[in-house]
Amino acid sequence: MTRTTIQTTAIRPFQVSIPEAELTDLRNRIYATRWPEKETVSDQSQGTQLATMQELARYWANEYDWRKIEAKINAVPHFLTELDGLDIHFIHVRSKHANAMPILIAHGWPGSIIEQMKLIEPLTDPTAHGGSESDAFHVVIPSMPGYGFSGKPTATGWDPERIARAYGELMTRLGYEKYVAQGGDWGAIVVDAMGVQEPKGLLGIHTNMAKVIPPEVDAAIWSGNPLPPGLSDEEKKACDQVRENKFYYAFFMGTRPQSLTGLADSPVGLAAFMLDHDWKSLALISRSFAGVQEGLTRDDVLDNITLFWLTNSAISAARIYWENKSSFFAVQGVKLPVAVSVFPDELFEAPKSWTEKAYPNLIHYNRLPRGGHFAAWEQPEFMTSEIRAGLRSLR
């Protein structure tokens, strides 16, 4: 084996240690924020509201403690390995149960490993979290290229399909001969691509953002043209949900990511942009900073934003939108077994009629009573039970 091969296939331990000077600089930048005037409407129609941002900044600078989440991050095993020429960071926690099923869990934007960390203990140690030994998983959570502690691509080409191939290689490198994959947001798009590619060992996937919209319907949604005739009320509702979210952030990052340089300079600017993902998530987060205990806490939100800030990954993370050339929600042709969980506050609620056609080997479909786009983060109990139930038949 050559020295180069040893280097590129090595799996190296990793820990997080942010210098105190960087945290001091962050607080000073928050204090120095130059604020805009208040929005001229009483709702979120102009974006993240000033009152939300000023309370977020107050808490971030004066009360938030990064060291708490840093300790939680370092409490689980982290690693780096080079995949397709780029260092990829990942969490890898093996269950104590011998027959545990390996699972790769993929995040999206503006998410990170923090989004899925609440799943680690209930999946790896189910007997301590309401499950049985037969529910156990070995958990692998990679940081997407350009995100968190993964390397930042210096050339083009890291689209979802390439990430999918890298993730398949990661599971092979870890010695897993059979495994499953789960994803939401870009993670859903990546694991859907894995389902199309069918890397060796992949038994099936679980998604909470199913790619099920028929191509002709998808084209009509994005073009603004009339929808095709014959859609059911449930299907029309899904179309309306996609259209009402508008996805302005996606269009901007998909065409001009480098013009977002200001996000690398202003932590409050970064936070305002990251919060405005979809109107239901923004409303939930805004309520958390208004003192409502619901779903995500203030620390949850700031843990994720602070990770983006400290790794200076706003622009490198945005580029996946520029790299992507396929539809976010259209059918891709997955033939492997697929489990689908539908949360009511997702970007759209995938109709069962479309889901059955998109995934001919559908093994699970369930609608949950609450939860939104960041379901693993916001509703980890529901997500845990869905992963267990949805993938049980593949054991």
Catalytic positions = 185, 321, 373
Q: Which two tokens stand for residue 87?
A: 């260092």
Please say whether the beta carbons of 300 and 115 come within 8 A: no
Q: Which residues are within 8 A (CB) of 384 and not within 5 positions of it... i.e. 6 or more apart? A: 119, 122, 123, 129, 131
DSSP β-bridge partners for residue 205: 181, 338
Count CB neighbours of 16 within 10 A: 17
CB 263 within 8 A of CB 269: yes
Half-sphere exposure (CA, 13 Å, Cβ side) for 195?
30
Element (H, E) at 70: helix 66-74
Nearest to 315 by CA among 272, 270, 277, 271: 270
Residues in the chain, how many? 395
> What is d(CA 271, CA 283) in angstroms, rounded to the nearest whole number?
14
Going by C-alpha positions, the residue among 204, 178, 149, 120 that lies closest to residue 390 is 204
Using the Cα atoms of residue 325, residue 266, residue 306 and residue 386 in order, give the sign of their dihedral.
negative
Q: How many CA atoms lie within 13 A of 16 on its CB side?
A: 25
Residue 181 CA to residue 14 CA, distance in Å, equals 23
Contact present, 139 and 124 (Cβ < 8 Å): yes
With CA atoms as reference, report the closest residue to 209 among 316, 80, 115.
Answer: 115
Q: Where are the beta strands (DSSP E) in 28-145?
A: 78-83, 86-93, 101-106, 137-142
